[in-house]
């Protein structure tokens, strides 16, 4: 009897404990449940449970079930895909707060045409909540997305975590338009975009970027962009507007075209940080135009350990790295090597400086009409420990910084010996050999052979292809294709055959010191193809002999014809 009572008590205790634990257990089971996505119908159904855990099991494209009804140009009365979640400006907000793992698969041929709606992309909005608010490992390929505000190929608005994702195609909107994400207040890492981004199609739009349109106190790291970006104000190759956010370890080679606040990487950096990053695409705008950042301003705004080597063209405040370095902002430990062309306030590094520039240099060509400088065009504040190469392009003036010859710019003593004019504090720099870096220092240099470059960022490798015409050959470095680090100065020498002469160098000759010299050099700022041209002088004696022989032969023929005519006339009589 006692045993039966013990058994009953044990069963009652178990039931009570189980009933108390059941809600917790069910939540654990629900959280661990993963929903598999195999077609557009299942993708569309995510909106029915915005806190779920989803995994993509295969690629989705125009041939996958549900495409015509849900994501094609004819779906939803030609509006295409309806983004997942709810995001209404000043209205309802119900974002995706779950987990979406693309598992390395792609979602292709996404079509969205909702020009007056906000939060456009595969998802309207993502928000971190608990362990959710994650999108990762997914590719959006051949997307065509059109919206109004907060528009991206993957996401309109992100306040969660996006990683290892990418987008290709076309993204168009008016405000906060990005190739991957429109507005970011969360984290984006290890992602990229190769899209054509158009911002400001309606009125004069703001904030367009190759990856992110508007980064508001968010982070963008280890990411990159390519393609093209076009917009109105604050437009960048990677990020359009970086407000108190962080952009790090990232790069862009997108071409950028806009009006004001135009940058190869970031259009406007307002109190934010741009560090350990670079840009190499062409940049074109009107004012505040920079190879890396268009407008850098406000407290704590920092551009550091960055470089740009793309061409920059604008009207005013045009710089190889930063167009306008405004009040309280800082540019340090950075360089620019691209060509810069503008009208007024044009500088190889900074167009117009009203703040602080330190431990920087420039080595690109600079051209303008007023306030033009090898390092800084217009300077109203502090420029220290900084230099420009005055020899390669003959730019002898700058409103800040100290001019150096090419040889001095490639000499480590210029940056370590405080007896050097313009060097107040030694740079954190060390000498390395070709193909190596020493990350214990901010700067590395191949002493006597290269400009300083940032550690951890080997200069780009560029190809130099050399050929020659008949009459000679190139002996140094030879003929064929050779690979050199960015910024390397390569000696060019020719051997001329007897009775020939060297004429000039043709092809990609913008960085050749003297195109008419048989012994010159070329500075590697891109992939170049050049030709050494020779000619054999005219042998006047030989030509004179040939002419004389022709004249004599002609005279003989004419004499014979006349004689024959006279004989014929005589016989006729």
pLDDT tens digit string along 121-132? Answer: 999 999 999 999
Q: What is the pLDDT of residue 28?
A: 38
Tokens matching residue 61 = 């494209």
pLDDT of residue 15: 39
Q: What is the pLDDT of residue 558?
A: 55
pLDDT above 60 (res 552) = no
Residues contacting residue 15 through CB under 8 Å, at least 6 positions apart: none
Per-residue pLDDT tens digits for 384-410: 999 999 997 788 999 999 999 999 999
- Mean pLDDT, residues 111-117 taken together: 97
516 membership: H or E segment, kind and range: none
Predicted local distance difference test score (pLDDT) of residue 485: 67
Tell me what pLDDT residue 4 has: 46
Q: Is the pLDDT of residue 16 over 90?
A: no
pLDDT single digits (tens) 305-331: 999 999 999 999 999 999 999 999 999
What's the average model confidence in pLDDT over 428-434?
94
| Mean pLDDT, range 92-112, rounded to an integer | 97
Dump pLDDT digits (tens) for 76-88.
999 999 999 998 8
More confident residue, 423 or 500: 423
Per-residue pLDDT, 312: 98
Question: Tokens 């902002």 correspond to what residue?
Answer: 329
Query: What pLDDT is stored for residue 13 in this prediction?
Result: 43
Residue 420 in tokens: 């050097």
pLDDT at 90: 79
Residue 278 and residue 307 in contact, taking contact as beta carbons nearer than 8 Å: yes
pLDDT tens-digit readout, 357-388: 999 999 999 999 999 999 999 999 999 999 99
Residues 180-192 as b or e (16 or more Cβ within 10 Å = b): bbbbbbbbbbbbb
Region 158-173: mean pLDDT is: 98
- For the chain, the structural domain boundaries read 28-205, 259-459, 461-535
Long-range contacts of 398-403 (CB under 8 A, 24+ apart): 398/347, 398/348, 398/373, 398/374, 399/347, 399/353, 399/371, 399/373, 400/353, 400/357, 400/373, 400/375, 400/376, 401/349, 401/357, 401/361, 401/373, 401/374, 401/375, 401/376, 403/374
**What per-residue confidence (pLDDT) applies to 520?**
87
CA 215 to chain centre: 17
Banded pLDDT at 27 (limits 50, 70, 90): very low
* Integer Cα distance of 322 and 422 in angstroms: 21
pLDDT at 556: 52
**Strand ranges (DSSP E) for 335-389?**
335-336, 340-341, 344-347, 350-353, 356-358, 361-362, 366-367, 370-373, 376-379, 382-384, 387-389
Q: Who wins on pLDDT, 278 or 562?
A: 278
CA dihedral over 252, 257, 258, 263, signed as positive or negative: positive
The Cα 518–Cα 538 span in angstroms is 20
Report the C-alpha gap between 220 and 300 in whole angstroms: 17
What are 170's two structure tokens?
A: 């076309």
Of 196-210, 507-521, 539-553, the least confident: 539-553
| 144 and 121 Cβ atoms separated by less than 8 Å | no
Report how far apart, in Å, the C-alpha atoms of 41 and of each of 67, 91, 344 are: 8, 27, 57
Which DSSP helix (H) or strand (E) runs through 573? none
Predicted confidence band of residue 1 (pLDDT cuts 50, 70, 90)? very low
Q: What is the pLDDT of residues 325-354, one digit of tens each?
A: 999 999 999 999 999 999 999 999 999 999
pLDDT of residue 25 exceeding 60, the answer is no
Q: What is the pLDDT of residue 549?
A: 53
> Which residues fall within 8 angstroms of residue 144, CB to CB, at 6 or more apart?
73, 80, 110, 111, 112, 113, 169, 170
Instruction: Please tell me the least confidently modeled range out of 416-420, 465-469, 487-491.
Output: 487-491
Which pLDDT score is estimated for 483?
81
Sequence-ordered strand ranges (E) for 121-189: 123-127, 134-136, 139-146, 149-152, 155-159, 161-163, 166-173, 175-178, 181-184, 187-189
Q: What does the pLDDT average to over 283-301?
A: 97
Mean pLDDT of the chain: 89
- What is residue 484's predicted lDDT score, i.e. its pLDDT? 76
3-state class percentages of the chain: helix first, strand second, coil last, to nearest 5: 15, 45, 40
Cβ 349 vs Cβ 325: under 8 Å: no
- pLDDT of 266 strictly over 80: yes
């Amino acid at each position: 009897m006692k045993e039966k009572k013990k058994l009953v008590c044990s069963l009652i205790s178990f039931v009570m404990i189980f009933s108390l634990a059941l809600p917790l257990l069910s939540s654990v089971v629900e959280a661990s449940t993963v929903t598999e996505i195999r077609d557009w119908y299942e993708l569309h159904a995510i909106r029915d449970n915005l806190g779920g855990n989803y995994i993509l099991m295969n690629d989705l494209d125009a041939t996958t079930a549900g495409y015509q009804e849900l994501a094609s140009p004819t779906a939803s009365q030609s509006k295409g895909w309806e983004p997942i979640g709810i995001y209404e400006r000043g209205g309802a907000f119900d974002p995706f707060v779950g987990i979406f793992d693309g598992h390395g698969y792609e979602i292709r041929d996404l079509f969205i045409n909702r020009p007056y709606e906000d939060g456009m992309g595969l998802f309207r909005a993502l928000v971190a909540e608990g362990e959710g608010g994650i999108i990762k490992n997914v590719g959006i390929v051949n997307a065509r997305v059109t919206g109004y505000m907060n528009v991206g190929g993957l996401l309109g608005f992100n306040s969660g975590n996006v990683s290892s994702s990418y987008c290709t195609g076309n993204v168009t909107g008016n405000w906060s338009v990005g190739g991957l994400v429109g507005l970011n207040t969360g984290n984006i890492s290890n992602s990229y975009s190769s899209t054509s981004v158009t911002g400001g199609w309606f009125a004069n739009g703001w904030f367009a970027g190759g990856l992110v349109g508007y980064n508001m106190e968010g982070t963008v790291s280890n990411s990159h962009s390519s393609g093209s970006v076009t917009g109105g104000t604050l437009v960048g190759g990677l990020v359009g507007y970086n407000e108190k956010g962080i952009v790090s370890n990232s790069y862009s080679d997108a071409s950028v075209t806009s009006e004001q606040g135009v940058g190869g990487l970031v259009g406007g950096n307002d109190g934010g940080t741009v560090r350990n990053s670079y840009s190499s695409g062409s940049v074109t705008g009107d004012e505040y135009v920079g190879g890396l950042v268009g407008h850098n301003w406000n407290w704590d705004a920092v551009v550091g350990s960055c470089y740009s080597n793309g061409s920059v063209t604008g009207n005013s405040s045009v710089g190889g790295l930063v167009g306008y370095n405004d009040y309280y902002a800082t540019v340090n430990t950075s360089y620019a090597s691209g060509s810069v062309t503008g009208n007024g306030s044009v500088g190889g590094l900074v167009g117009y400086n009203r703040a602080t520039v330190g431990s920087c240099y420039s080595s690109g060509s600079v051209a303008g009409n007023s306030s033009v400088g090898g390092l800084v065009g217009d300077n109203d504040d502090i420029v220290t420990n900084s230099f420009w190469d005055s020899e390669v392009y003959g730019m002898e003036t700058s409103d800040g910084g100290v001019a150096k010859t090419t040889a001095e710019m490639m000499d480590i003593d210029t940056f370590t010996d405080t007896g050097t004019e313009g060097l107040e504090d030694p740079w954190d720099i060390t000498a390395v050999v070709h193909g190596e870096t020493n990350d214990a220092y901010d700067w590395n240099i191949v002493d006597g052979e290269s400009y300083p470059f940032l550690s951890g960022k080997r200069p780009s490798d560029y190809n130099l292809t050399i050929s020659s015409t008949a009459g000679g050959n190139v002996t140094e470095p030879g003929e064929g294709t050779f690979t050199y680090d960015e910024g390397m100065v390569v000696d060019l020498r020719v051997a001329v055959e007897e009775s020939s002469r060297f004429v000039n160098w043709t092809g990609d000759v913008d960085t050749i010191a003297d195109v008419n010299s048989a012994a010159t050099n070329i500075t590697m700022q891109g992939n170049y193809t050049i030709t050494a041209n020779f000619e054999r002088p005219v042998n006047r004696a030989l030509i004179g002999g040939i002419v004389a022989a022709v004249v004599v032969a002609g005279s003989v023929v004419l004499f014979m014809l006349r004689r024959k005519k006279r004989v014929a006339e005589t016989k006729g009589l």
